[in-house]
Amino acid sequence: MEFLPLVKNMFTEGLFTKLLQLEDGWFVESVETDFKQEEIYIQIECVLDELEDAETGELCRVYDHAPSREWRHLDTMQYKTFLRCKLPRITTSSGKVK
């Protein structure tokens, strides 16, 4: 019965992807729960090759990903919830990395 935990994990990751309303190209990679500390850690990943520059609207190639950051999110029931993500950085047409 080793198959059941995998199905449960896939369900959990899919559930949090839907609850966070992540757009195409963004998804929940993993969900870790610390029952003793009552904390949930959600790892978000971006697999897009191009992203829009928020300032200019230009579609730019992803250059790399910044070091992982962590943000506090709304609680999931009584559990403190944290989001973790390595945000993608883009290269603009002028060569600037943002």
Residue-wise pLDDT tens digits, 28-63: 999 999 989 999 999 999 999 999 999 999 999 999
* DSSP secondary structure letters along 65-87: EPPPEEEEEEEETTEEEEEEE--
Q: Which domain holds residue 18?
A: 11-90
- 1 in a domain, yes or no? no
Question: Radius of gyration over alpha carbons of the chain, in Å?
Answer: 16
Residue 47 dihedral angles phi and psi, to the nearest 5°: -115, 15
Tell me the whole-structure pTM to 2 decimals.
0.82
- 29 in a domain, yes or no? yes
| Mean of all residue pLDDT scores within the chain | 88
- 95 in a domain, yes or no? no
Residue 7 dihedral angles phi and psi, to the nearest 5°: -60, -45
Question: Count of domains in the chain?
Answer: 1
The amino acid that residue 33 corresponds to is T
